[in-house]
Structure 1
Amino acid sequence: MNESAADRPYDTLVVEERSDRVVVTLRRPAARNAINGRMIAELHRVCEDLERVPKPLLLTGHGGVFAGGADIGELRRRGREEALQGINSRLFERVRRLPLPTIAAVPGWALGGGAELAYACDLRIAGPDAVFGNPEPGLGILAAAGACWRLRELVGESVAKQVLLAGRSLDARAALSCGLVLDVVPADRLVDEAHAVLDRMSRSSALALRLTKLVTDASGAHPVTDDLAQAVLFESTDKEERMTRFLEKKGGRA
């Protein structure tokens, strides 16, 4: 029998596996949840399980912080070979490509690699103290785990360059105004609100969500892909049952 992610011990994460979702809390309290090699490896384990048994993912941080960046001590030791391995970027792209939706609940700082991990999620919800930023050039490097192109896609070129080049940090209000986050909610309701979004999603067809995410993430115009995905859904039992229930509630009217 396959062992689930929640059945194995973790050093840097708290993993709660529910029947319809997985909740992961980044937890390195002495380092503001900084993303180190151990956390990268453990997040890969979570992704492996979610690829095998697809469920939505709720990702958050312990202690009022999402992730204060990548582990600078480890980054200082990395050289050209490590950069070419894409240690962080490969993980964040794997998170991006998970079959079902992902939500980052960001209570506070999401900086550097922490911000890039949040950018890789499908949706972000912020607490009032949330701050997104990419200060990598100040450390002599660039935000090479997705921010240089993913942030532009999320908020537009102008705001992305303000963050990446001018060192601007986006607080919760600014992140909401530029569309980076879905909502800003009180800190004590942050995770509950993220669960509420997943609850709404859970009422939809899992296959429809999966194919919608796959098509939405495809680049450029893709009418043939849309048609093929719709063809799969049109033949599903779930679609037949859902539409029948809808029509029965409407008394047979469309």
Structure 2
Amino acid sequence: MGLTTANLDVRAVRLEVSDGIGTLVLSRPPVNALDTAAQRALRRAAEEAAERPDVSAVILHGDAGRFSAGADIREMAGMSAADMTVWAGQLQGAFSAVADIPKPVVAAVNGYALGGGCELALTADRRIMADDARIGLPEITLGVIPGAGGTQRLTRLVGPARAKEIIFTGRALDAAEALAIGLVDQVVPAERVLQEARAWATRFVGGPALALRAAKQAVDLGGGTDLRSGLEIERALFAGLFGTEDRLEGMRSFVAEGPGNARFTGR
């Protein structure tokens, strides 16, 4: 399948689709800061990636050797508390749209992912980081706290003690430390970040899309509740997949040909 570009504000975010993989590219020089227009473009691109049947997995990536320096501080500086009540909701909504993409999502973190950039990376299912990149939540140095999910998603990922230390100090972590504490999942040379992200995403092209969606929902929804409720979520999603064509094909193929030979259609 050839390369296409979504009809979005390409000055801020663009969705590129090639060979079953959608890449959400942050492109707002010089640091890919996410102002209001970029946030809206991000939300639209995420929603389109979620809906398009020709997208099996999604990559988050930044142009010009940088992931994102986060929200646009110049735009935020003149806002009142009332302004921010509305603006923060829009920002969280854009990031939640990425987190809610019902397909595998990988962040290819290049250069730096700071503030909102880090929070955006946290919405992904997997994070691959360049060995020379930096990641962190410096909002405390501005007299505020992370407002796009950082206090919540980071805590669930690395635990409350580590999350507090990172948020309280506002320091940037190098790739080795980020990997050691589980903030990222893989560290590679900078020139291979996008390549490795694409290799991971390619694994899901032609895969059982409905089962992948259910698996992501089970982990994400179940992880935010108690065990009993999580098990009920899992049970319902598991049983529901028995009404799909992919389940019939997967089990038929396994019995007839052994594992790994199913031809899924996403239905």
TM-score (norm. length: structure 1): 0.90
Tell me if 1:248 matches 2:256.
yes
Deviation at 1:8, TM superposition (A): 4.2
Deviation at 1:5, TM superposition (A): 6.2
Partner of 1:65: 66
Are 1:5 and 1:46, in contact at CA under 8 Å, matched by a contact in 2? no
Partner of 1:47: 46
In 2, the alpha carbon distance for the partners of 1:125 and 1:51 equals 21
Deviation at 1:115, TM superposition (A): 0.8
In 2, the alpha carbon distance for the partners of 1:48 and 1:237 equals 25
In 1, the alpha carbon distance for the partners of 2:193 and 2:78 equals 36
Tell me if 1:170 matches 2:173.
yes
Partner of 1:239: 247
Correspondence for 2:122 among 107, 119, 122: 119
Partner of 1:20: 20
Matched residue of 1:29: which SS? coil
TM-score (norm. length: structure 2): 0.86
In 1, the alpha carbon distance for the partners of 2:47 and 2:206 equals 25
In 2, the alpha carbon distance for the partners of 1:142 and 1:148 equals 8
In 2, the alpha carbon distance for the partners of 1:248 and 1:48 equals 38
Tell me if 1:106 matches 2:81.
no
Q: Which runs of 5+ in 2 are unaligned?
A: 260-267
Deviation at 1:249, TM superposition (A): 3.2
Partner of 2:183: 180
Are 1:16 and 1:24, in contact at CA under 8 Å, matched by a contact in 2? yes
Are 2:13 and 2:45, in contact at CA under 8 Å, matched by a contact in 1? no
Correspondence for 1:216 among 219, 224, 229: 219
Aligned residues: 247
In 2, the alpha carbon distance for the partners of 1:205 and 1:239 equals 8
Are 2:134 and 2:174, in contact at CA under 8 Å, matched by a contact in 1? yes
How big is the alpha-carbon RMSD for the aligned residues of Structure 1 and Structure 2? 1.9
Q: Structure 1's 200 and 71: CA in aligned 2 closer, same or farther, altered over 3 A? A: same
In 2, the alpha carbon distance for the partners of 1:26 and 1:9 equals 11
Tell me if 1:90 matches 2:83.
no
Deviation at 1:178, TM superposition (A): 1.1
In 1, the alpha carbon distance for the partners of 2:76 and 2:111 equals 22
Q: Which runs of 5+ in 1 are unaligned?
A: none
In 2, the alpha carbon distance for the partners of 1:156 and 1:93 equals 21
Partner of 1:226: 234
Are 2:5 and 2:14, in contact at CA under 8 Å, matched by a contact in 1? no
State the Cα deviation string for residues 195-251 of structure 1 (Å, max 9, x = none).
Answer: 111112235311001011111111222222211111111222211212222233349
- Tell me the amino acid that sits aligned with residue 6 of structure 2: A
- Tell me the amino acid that sits aligned with residue 245 of structure 1: S
Matched residue of 2:15: which SS? strand
**Larger displacement relative to structure 2 (117-126 or 239-248):** 239-248
Partner of 1:10: 10
- Tell me the amino acid that sits aligned with residue 240 of structure 1: L
